[in-house]
Structure 1
Amino acid sequence: MQAYVRRDPLSAMIAVVIIPVLALVITADSASAQGQAFAPTQLVKIGHVGPLTGPVAHMGKDNENGARMAIEELNAKGVTLAGKKVTFVLLAEDDGSDPKMATSAAQKLVDAKVQAVIGHLQSGTSIPASKIYYDAGIPQISPSATSRKYTQQGFNTTFRVVANDGQLGGMLGRYAAKTLTAKNIAVIDDRTAYGQGLADEFIKSARAAGVTIVTRQYISDRATDFNAILTTIKGKKPDLIFFGGIDASAGLMLRQMQMLGINAKLMGGDAICTNQLPLLAGNSLRDDQVVCAEAGGVEKSGQKKLDAFKAAYKKRYNSEIKQYAPYTYDAVMTIADAMQKANSADPKKYLSQLAKIVHKGVTGEIGFDANGDIKNGALTVYTFRGGQRTVLTVT
């Protein structure tokens, strides 16, 4: 005798609906799993920090632009690590040229678990932030900080792709004495880690070359009125004024020097040696009046690569580079090179590769010594003629 089975119309309807839906879910899950095997599942987060507000915001944005160009190029190439395609992401932060903002920005990037940091622009922000990156084990490459202290803290995560103040200030002191034949020099610095450090190194070198430092004056990096100290300096009749500070201050200083009838040359480091200086100084900038040096430089054999970068930058941003965008670009590419050599974006795994890297960049060959300073860092001396920065020599 056959057992009687009750047929529930509602149950039958639910079964008709649920079974196909389950089939769709299983199929979708399988497709998703297959897609994940081929999707760019690995994100590599690169932090960049520089001043996006304040008197040198134009420099900070220039550096960020260089980093962004490198990120875009890496993603266009389709880099893979450990067999997986990766997507590079740039996390940009503003430090406002302020050490407290710099440490806050650094901690924010650490909390975001970035795998590397490019920055900061200035020594005064790079130095305090470097301890935070070191404690987190995150490599940091500054494209422009030149203070010797930055790489002398014993941090194996700290690197730079430009020469330091000892090299830059020392060369400028010798150049002032031997090439410009200056005998009496007045010195001004803005009391920042960069400005004071550079001035100290300049004075040491200039005095060793037989130059007399007739006075040393101090300003704030945000000061706008220099008439009092310039009047004092005018009475000392110097052949040359050395300024450890930024282009925004130097532009105003040149204007006020003209008003006071001071005809001495103005010399400084990389922070005044920018394409922005003629705009900041206006008609007060005479040909050959300013002599400055950049902690970096490219010999003629490598100029073609740098020119190509400059053209690409102008096409991308519709403006000329301000100064250190090529070095920021190279810093990102050096990090990526080290990651590819280690086949990993884990700082613990690629840090050793970064320390011994030899990377061919648009600014020249990049390799680091035991402190994280660039080996054989070039120095370029410039002046301004017709409002254009003009190379005098590369050393």
Structure 2
Amino acid sequence: MTKEQGNIGTKSVWAGEADVLVHGATQVPVVVSVAYNYDDMDEWYDVATGKKQGHIYGRNTNPTVQAFEEKVRILEGAEASTSFSTGMAAISNTLYTFLRPGDRVVSIKDTYGGTNKIFTEFLPNMDVDVALCDTGNHEKMEAEIEKGCKILYLETPTNPTVKITDIERMAKKGKEAGALVIIDNTFATPINQNPLELGADLVLHSATKFLGGHADALGGVICGSKELIEPIYHYREINGATMDPWAAYLLLRGMKTLKLRVKQQEINAVAIAEFLLKQDLVEDVYYPGLKTHVNHDIAKKQMRGFGGMLSFSLKGGMDAVRILLPNLVYANRAANLGAVETTYGPARTTSHIECTPEERAKVGIPEGLVRVSAGIEDTEDLIKDLEQAFANL
């Protein structure tokens, strides 16, 4: 048995680290050197040209970063992986690697706001055609794919409305059209979903969120075949969105407790969602673990768990939000998610701050929608906190 053969919780602790451990240390070192010395000129050349394993310059590769990439690669069951300075760098670098003027992208309307801006602003300026479909309307998406598709890009569950797309169905249709199928797996994490097993070509994460889990390090990562990862890595090494080794160390440390955190976050998310359903002042609750969720059956089919993310809208919109959120005690009111602390925030100042009210409304995000990232606190305390906060409404 090797350290890569255990269950996913065990892999989160052990996988990907052995090659960079030194001096009998049990933890991956933080290697901050920018350059690496070679006395043998031929060995230096072989490393620089990829004929031999090693490192030459920090913008290209780094031992600490390498360990992080390996751990995520193993958790996602991929052949290769590469990392980035942020989640948005992972998304943008991947899209820019493969897209050329005249190409066509098919995606969904309510991806994360930054991703949406790439689709609605940056790619059209590059003469790339983008078709955005209603999330969950698989027939419409299939019809758009048939018109031509270089990249099929999906985010499931979505941020912040936690909508679900059938990955297996869409990946099959995408491949029939010759499309590259990319899945943002940030919300689900490798604990609850492995898109490559469902037919996707590439899976990416904003590592800043659940992978790190402590809101103290930025990063992004993408996994897939070696054939696809190599050009993405080349684009990143030249354009410079390199992960910092200190961030890689913090992300590695966070990932050791990934399964434990995700399971407790899910317990809390379920409890919060069920509490919100009973509140007269709550208009809608969005959580794929609820039987009332429009795509609950698809989520059950492709996910091992429903995760720690949910959202809800209040009667009274932002006026009600302005009262409720400041009265919560066990909550960060912040533009982040996936951390050990429970975090609340309106979509208009978190996931979709880049968008206008009209743009948010167009993709089904009301101004009073609140995104909730459940933390790892005791469930009873979070519910009591919500009870006292709702009393103020």
TM-score after normalising by structure 1:
0.31
TM-score after normalising by structure 2:
0.31
Rg (Cα) greater in structure: 1
Greater per-residue helix proportion:
1
